[in-house]
Structure 1
Amino acid sequence: MPRWPKPPEGSWTEHYSELGTDPMSYEDSISPEFYELERKAIFERAWLNVGRVEQLPKVGSYYTKEIDAARSSVIIVRDREKQVRAFHNVCRHRGNKLVWNEFPREETSGTCRQFTCKYHGWRYGLDGGLNFVQQEGEFFDLDKGAYGLAPVHCEVWSGFIFVNLAPEPSQTLREFLGPMVTDLEGYPFDRMTDRFTYRAEVGANWKLYMDAFQEFYHAPVLHASQSPDNYATAAQTAGFEAPHYQLQGPHRLVSTSGVVTWELDPSMRKPMEDITRSGLFGPWQQPELGEMPSGLNPAKCDPWGLDSFQLFPNFTILIWSAGWYLTYHYWPTAYNRHIFEGNLYFVPAKTPRERVALEMAAVTFKEYALQDSNTLEATQISLESRAVRRFPLNDQEILLRHLHKVAGEWVGEYRSEAVR
């Protein structure tokens, strides 16, 4: 159960006694054997976010998602009844990949009336049904009704599209998310349709990159170059501590107070922030969004900065007080590599100045993310030496302990089932 606000005595970590306070091993981030178990135990069983409904604006809109950790490719499509569906991207004839462009390992998107296999021309409707077989009469008692596309469990919450690759999920999406996440219902995600997206291959385990955004202890040091010298020095001297951490099921939350950039002394701001009226914390001109849902700012910070919701296994929703949000995805491709995706969402700009402000926020975010990813490749290299095997974590790193504990529990449960 969540415990907040912070207890008057002791630390956050101590009050979640199941986590322990001992130095932690990162063997789960450097072991090829553990990664193989994660693929089966986590990525073939958990609900995975694969995008938003705005990516499917009309009937026939589709896109593909490569889920390398599950050795799967998925088609997400809006059918003729405007329902969002998902299918395995596999032709039922000879197993060719059904939807792809020039390069079969790359993702693609578009609009169509039906899906046609490039190999032998089999055609499938938007509902996945098999509509046409080339030279059908040469097949033996072929029942087209039995050879539609293989469906993938697909549910939508607040416009976010999730899939589950298990034959039968153990929980509905809503049960899996739990109230800490579903209490965000009512936030105007659907109004924030201007999207800036980044994608990069990172030479580090997926959990290590998640860890980088699960604590702000590093920010005054790693990101010092992004602030004027006097502000960076003051921040490093003071340090940083978020006022609220929360754990619920496999998911995590860190909520923190914030700085209103435009109220800072001008000497504490960068010239480009004044010119564009924007920066890391978003555009200075905030949209009117109405009443916020109960799940935001649980610690009642004033001023409030942001809430970062870490959804297991590999998805983050980070909501800024300035009226925008971003998402992170971490898609494993090996025990020591993954694809990082960042998406920033804003209420659409109405003027050139507003557009410039959005782009300034997007560019600033990119610089911060690059600093984190470069550091984590260095972390991966050093961890794999195994010269040091256990590492002390402070109280602000409680979410790191929780992520690695939950991953270990899912793998442990999978192992237990395998020996029954």
Structure 2
Amino acid sequence: MTDWPKPAAGSWTEHYPDLGTGPMSFEDSVSPEFYELERTAIFERAWLNIGRVEQLPRVGSYFTKEIAIARTSILVVRGRDQEVRAFHNVCRHRGNKLVWSEFPREEVSGTCRQFTCKYHGWRYGLDGGLNFVQQEGEFFGLDKGEFGLVPVHCEIWAGFVFVNLAPEPPQTLTEFLGPMVGALADYPFDRMTERYDFKAENASNWKLFADAFQEYYHVPGLHSQQVPGAVRKPDNGFTCAHYQLDGPHRMVSTGGARRWTLPPEFMYPIERVTRSGLVGPWESPDIGELPPGINPGRIDPWGIDNFQIFPNVEILFYRGWYLIYRYWPTSHNTHTFEGTLCYQPADSVRKRIEHEVSSVVFKEFALQDAGMLTGTQTALEQAYRTAGITDYPVNDQEILVRHFHKAVADWVGAFHGAAAR
């Protein structure tokens, strides 16, 4: 495992001098022009996680993914050879969307033997090949071998399905993920197949919601119930135990008192009754020895690891379960937020209730974060347009926010030139 540098006590940001310590600009979160640059520099070149292999349990299983910022729809399917493939979701005849249900912009999933276009009946195999053309003889020298579905680069890492929309990806998926994220590969993701999915449209730039989960400086103010005095610093604050950067990716570890050891007034009544809540079931199942990538700072007592995989996915590791966030931009000031909680399948009614309570309490705290963001977006835009304010002070606990926006700027600058920064 890589020996990560340990910063001097009291400072993380200064250990990474390329980040700087001065005020940082949030112009990238209010500018329509910068959003257009992100489209081509990041979302059409980076590896994007669009799902898990559990969504494709058998031959013919498929799902679609709408990627608005890339102006495309992706079809992912498990073929007869068990391989997972991705294609642009468009019929090669006259460009109709191939797989959809009642509304073309809604994502769908299911199982089939082949894909049939609703418009003129062209049929495609699970490998993307064109198998049937209605009234084929009326076409002029049509070679079906040249008109299969257009493939998209697709790779699997630890059961996560990634796609890359570039004609030739700048890096392989393994190279892109790097050693810090790669060290998570042996985590038993495949055992946690009980899922609770949430999706919401949010009136803020996609980076602002990611920022909300990359720092815990806001916790005492916004989630005062979550961080009572027992785990605060003497000055009434809350600090995390470990930060780490690797290429465009970043992570943070929290420690502190277990929620169930706190006084009852710091819990919802339903948490006390069901012995489950924000951090999951109090009696989490044993999942064996954790891979070295978890809790890289070796924090004791350890609480949560939050890994942010560039550009728009986060994986949060709790004790015995994990959580996925994804942020899909839809404009310079709107995005779609997805949250998925993943547990080992419940083998009793009580465990199922514990999982459902945990998912509901999670949603409550996520709404507290989401509720701030329209105000943040609105104020940033007003300050930018009326007063020309772009720069804001950022503290040491917000190192991941600083790093994230720099990574975005670096990708945009590398692709479009320094003038785009």
Q: Aligned residue for 1:296?
A: 294
Q: Indicate yes or no: 2:350 matched with 1:353.
A: yes
Superposition map of 1:80-99 within 5 A: 80-99=80-99
Q: Aligned residue for 1:404?
A: 405
| Aligned pair partner of 2:273 in 272, 275, 285 | 275
CA distance 1:148–1:356, change in 2 (3 Å): same
Superposition map of 1:6-405 within 5 A: 6-9=6-9, 11-225=11-225, 238-320=236-318, 322-385=319-382, 386=384, 387=387, 388-405=389-406
Letter of the 1:20 counterpart:
G
Shift of 1:261: 2.0
Shift of 1:271: 2.3
Structure 1 residues not aligned, in runs of 5+: none
CA distance 1:172–1:417, change in 2 (3 Å): farther
User: In the aligned structure 2, how far is the partner of 1:114 from the partner of 1:356?
Assistant: 38
Letter of the 1:393 counterpart:
V
Instruction: Provide the TM-score with structure 1 as the length reference.
Output: 0.95
Cα distance per residue 1:297-355 (max 9 Å; x no partner)? 111111100111000000001101x2110000000000000000000000111111111
Shift of 1:274: 1.3
Q: Is the 8 A contact 1:256 1:305 kept in 2?
A: yes
Cα distance per residue 1:223-249 (max 9 Å; x no partner)? 12567xx75996895311112111111
Q: Is the 8 A contact 1:30 1:335 kept in 2?
A: yes
User: In the aligned structure 2, how far is the partner of 1:418 from the partner of 1:168?
Assistant: 25
Q: Is the 8 A contact 1:5 1:244 kept in 2?
A: no
Identity %: 65
User: In the aligned structure 2, how far is the partner of 1:269 from the partner of 1:410?
Assistant: 43
Letter of the 1:370 counterpart:
L
The ranges of structure 1 where at least 4 consecutive aligned residues each deviate by more than 4 angstroms after the TM superposition are 1-5, 230-237
Cα RMSD for the two superposed structures: 2.0
Shift of 1:288: 1.3
Structure 2 residues not aligned, in runs of 5+: none
SS of the aligned residue for 2:280 comes to coil
Shift of 1:381: 0.2
Count of paired positions: 416
Shift of 1:135: 0.5
User: In the aligned structure 2, how far is the partner of 1:149 from the partner of 1:11?
Assistant: 52
Q: Is the 8 A contact 1:220 1:235 kept in 2?
A: no
Shift of 1:373: 1.0
Q: Is the 8 A contact 1:62 1:75 kept in 2?
A: yes
